[in-house]
Chain A
Amino acid sequence: MDNGQLHDDTLFRAVQQRLSDYETPYEGADWDAMRRSLDQLPQTTRNRFQFRFSMNALLIGAGVLVVALLGSYLLWRPSTTSTDQTKNPVINPAPAARQIQPGKPPVEQQLTTIPAQHQDSVIATAQQAPTTLTQSATQKPKTTKPIIDQGDLRFGDQIDPRKGFILPTHEADSLRGVHLSKPDKYYDVEDNGKIKPIQIGNGSDSTKLSPVDSTKRD
């Protein structure tokens, strides 16, 4: 007789056929006793199950943390400081005149009164400036246009409407603290920094500034 097959012995075979699938009716009282026994068992299986569940939660949390750190790094990483001067060169207004960007309205300036003898020198410096500016402009790429930083404009700067240059004729810083005793006299700052009065004709009359109006009044 092999395992799983019916026995050669008739008695064994008969008992096997009658009792192998024998079932008793269910009794609810037995489950109550079973439940009480299960309640007294230690919760080791639940802890293992919780460990398995918590491992999945840990993996998910670690993934979220990695994504958050990566995102924060991409957002807050220091950006490379591009030289704005190469793209948008800011022309130093001190040594040379500045070029007005086309399309922008000219800055309305109140022209300071400059004696005629000084105008040539001022214009000469202004004329020198565009050459240097053009030279620097040619060196620069054609696509880049010098943008005038209007924050650098100061009271007294002069604009040449024909050439479009702002002449650095603003009041010098050194004159700010100077107390002028005679308001009808004008002063200028030389290159060496000294302050010299401006001779306006023979008197303090402002109408005698231009050579055309040099007629004397009786």
Chain B
Amino acid sequence: MDTEQSAFCEKQPFAFVTVFRVTNPVECQIPDMTEQELIAGCIRQDRTCQELLYKRFYGKMMGVCLRYAKNRDQARDMLQEGLIKVFSTLRNFAGRGSLEGWVRRIVVNTAVDHLRRNKHEYLIVSTVSMREGDVPDQIDQVDEEDLMAELSEEQILQAVQQLSPAYRTVFNLYVIENLPHKDIAAQLNISEGTSKSNLAKARYQLQKNIHLMLRKSADGQRTTTR
């Protein structure tokens, strides 16, 4: 796609591009497409354009779903359901804001709805088994960032997945999505007090999970060095 064609696509209104690209499906085979062309191709249900859009957002959206799900299979279901909604409602994208942000909001809402539908499958308790007497030490806030630096993203993600669904959802909406407690309460159909309480509990649980993970890794290193 040369610069002139891309400039032409950018200048023309969305409806115009939609109508006059219907007889030229070959363009969807070009990997370097503008966002408007990609959207137009997905609207007319061109599988090539849909695959390109899927590949473009797969990595980040799967990371979003992994934070809300307890395992990869559940995250895959959330992602597929969310992207189907994206393809179905793509014509409603007015172009205000970025496409990634619009897709992200749909995927997050889909993940939350997925958990709300299946809430009977989950227990409102932490999945981390605690031995008797194994009280976690109080960790200075100064060491938290240093400790987090020793862990990989997959380990941190695993620590988040070990939280209960209710705590994990509130944690993700507040910490990652930066939503206020008022919006979280409205979305989850809970009170603001419950949202704040769940967040505090999620933080405490996440701390314990991280410490246990660090202790396991330290013990593992000691055993290997011996």
Contact = CB atoms under 8 A, between A and B. Distances in A.
Interface of A: 3-5, 7, 9-16, 18-27, 30-31, 33-35, 37-38, 41, 43, 45-46, 48-49, 52-53, 56
A34 to B, nearest CB: 6
Interface of B: 15, 18-19, 22, 43-45, 47, 50-51, 54-55, 58-60, 62-63, 66-67, 76, 79-80, 83-84, 87-88, 91, 141-142, 144-145, 148, 153, 156-157, 160, 174-176, 178-180, 203, 206-207
A19 B160 contact: yes
B70 to A, nearest CB: 16
B173 to A, nearest CB: 11
B63 A10 contact: no
Given A3-B179, A12-B203, A19 B153 contact: yes
Contact of A7 (B18, B148, B175): B175
A58 to B, nearest CB: 13
A45 B88 contact: yes
Given A14-B148, A24-B62, A26-B55, A45 B43 contact: yes
A31 B51 contact: yes
Contacts of A52: 15, 18-19
A59 to B, nearest CB: 11
Contacts of B51: 31, 35
A112 B51 CA distance: 104
B211 to A, nearest CB: 11
A30 B80 contact: yes
Contacts of B79: 30
A24 B59 contact: yes
B156 A18 contact: yes
Given A49-B18, A52-B15, A23 B59 contact: yes
